[in-house]
């Protein structure tokens, strides 16, 4: 969760400024890329089930679309802020560029808590969000997708409202739709699988076999669950997961030294990734504080929850055994913590490369929806593996060639590609 005075957009700008200096970008390009091209903030009045009217605040930020239509998810979160959305839209620009798909970056959100809203109320928020933005999104302009606490159902409501407004069938407007309604096979697994494809390649570089490793994972939503599944298939063992408890309004870590049983835990997990504590206790899981995930004596740490989780305050708690951090979440590591990780020589696969499986598969869904022809699941996941592996190798090769930190190498590639697109278009 966002803590104290942490500002994710300032962090994103610091990261950009560092690479802009390395690339020696001209002042105009720096000014263009360190701020979004367009921002939308608006009110969404909603008739609640009890007859009252409540007004929710919504956002959409389009950071850059020089390389193609903007792309980015929509979050429903009670602590959503415009600066969070700005940061995420910028990271989406770099994410699309680093895996070399022809899309730009955007992000959206609504300040709300789905835990306290009925499905009818959530549907009204979805439709209200689209009504505010119908002229500013579209298959060839800005393509939304699910994100924190939004689902395929939310996307379908949004698509339906857009098609009612435009009077046309436009399945390419939005991705993350249900399979059978324009959604892509493999999309559910894509982000989590992409994390592990990247972890697999990093382990190859470290000359470590996956079946000789253990991991600790923060989060137990869609990304974490599928990352754990594929990691297990490669022979790795996850000994603990950390997740948010809505009832207590705090996080807990669930640990089993012998290795967690993913199906067992999924069976006692709600749709927001919260694990039932009483049932977990009966299954032999040890309860620890929420931040205990970072202290575990494991080979791999996978933060797959929210931004600002590995900080200057807790980075010193990382075990000396940890060899690899795979950032499944967006912006989980602050610059202060990043400096310590770099100095310790821990191999880190940066967020906008590691978790790019989701947007890559969203791009596949967008292509399939626009041409009304859909691929089999094995083909989708095969294309995803190829794309993620190629992106990792390009970043790794540059890091070795120029003696760069992996995060810096990924930024050099992505920011360089976007800057060149802006230059080619004559914007700068």
- Where in the sequence numbering do the catalytic residues fall? 107
Contact 34, 21 (CB under 8 A): no
Dist. CA 132–CA 44, nearest whole Å: 8
| Owner of token pair 């991991």 | 215
> Phi, psi at residue 377, to the nearest 5°?
-60, -45
Cβ partners under 8 Å of residue 195, min gap 6: 223, 227, 302, 304, 326, 328, 354, 355, 357
Nearest to 242 by CA among 188, 193, 310: 310
32: left (phi over 0), alpha (psi -120 to 50) or beta: alpha
Nearest to 392 by CA among 301, 296, 327: 327
Strands 104-111 and 70-77: parallel
Q: And the tokens for 269? A: 């997990």
Task: List the beta bridge partners of residue 244.
Answer: 251
Dist. CA 405–CA 169, nearest whole Å: 46
Give the DSSP per-residue string, 298-325: -SEEEE-S-SS-B-TTTGGGS-TT--EE
Dist. CA 269–CA 285, nearest whole Å: 14
């Amino acid at each position: 969760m966002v803590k104290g005075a942490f500002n994710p957009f300032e962090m994103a700008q610091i990261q950009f400024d560092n690479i802009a200096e390395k690339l020696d970008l001209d002042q105009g390009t720096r000014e263009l890329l360190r701020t979004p091209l367009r921002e939308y903030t608006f009110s969404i009045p909603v008739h609640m089930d009890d007859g009252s009217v409540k007004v929710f605040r919504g956002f959409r930020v389009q950071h850059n679309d020089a390389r193609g239509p903007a792309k980015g998810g929509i979050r429903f979160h009670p602590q959503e802020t415009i600066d969070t959305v700005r940061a995420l839209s910028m990271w989406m620009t770099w994410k699309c560029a680093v895996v070399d798909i022809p899309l730009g970056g955007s992000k959206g959100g609504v300040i709300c808590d789905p835990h306290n809203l009925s499905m009818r109320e959530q549907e009204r928020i979805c439709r209200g969000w689209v009504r505010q933005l119908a002229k500013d999104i579209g298959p060839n302009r800005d393509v939304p997708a699910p994100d924190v606490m939004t689902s395929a159902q939310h996307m379908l409501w949004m698509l339906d409202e857009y098609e009612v407004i435009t009077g046309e069938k436009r399945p390419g407007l939005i991705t993350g739709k249900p399979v059978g309604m324009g959604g892509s096979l493999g999309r559910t697994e894509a982000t989590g699988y992409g994390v592990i494809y990247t972890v697999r390649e990093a382990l190859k570089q470290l000359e470590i076999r996956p079946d000789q490793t253990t991991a600790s994972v923060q989060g137990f939503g869609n990304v974490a669950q599928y990352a754990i599944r594929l990691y297990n298939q490669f022979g790795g063992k996850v000994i603990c997961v950390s997740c948010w408890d809505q009832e207590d309004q705090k996080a807990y870590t669930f640990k089993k030294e012998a290795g967690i049983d993913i199906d067992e835990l999924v069976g006692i997990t709600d749709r927001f990734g919260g694990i039932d504590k009483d049932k977990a206790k009966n299954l032999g899981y040890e309860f620890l504080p929420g931040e205990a995930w970072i202290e575990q004596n494991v080979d791999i740490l996978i933060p797959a929850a929210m931004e600002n989780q590995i900080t200057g305050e807790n980075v010193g708690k990382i075990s000396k055994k940890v060899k690899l951090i795979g950032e499944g979440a967006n912006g989980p590591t602050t610059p202060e913590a990043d400096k310590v990780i770099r100095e310790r020589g821990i191999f880190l696969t940066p967020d906008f490369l590691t978790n790019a499986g989701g947007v890559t598969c969203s791009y596949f869904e967008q292509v399939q929806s626009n041409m009304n022809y859909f691929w089999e699941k094995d083909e989708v996941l095969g294309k995803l593996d190829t794309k993620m592996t190629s992106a990792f190798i390009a970043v790794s090769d540059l890091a070795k060639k120029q003696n760069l930190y992996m995060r810096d190498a990924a930024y050099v590639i992505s920011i360089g590609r976007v800057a060149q697109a802006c230059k080619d278009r004559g914007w700068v």
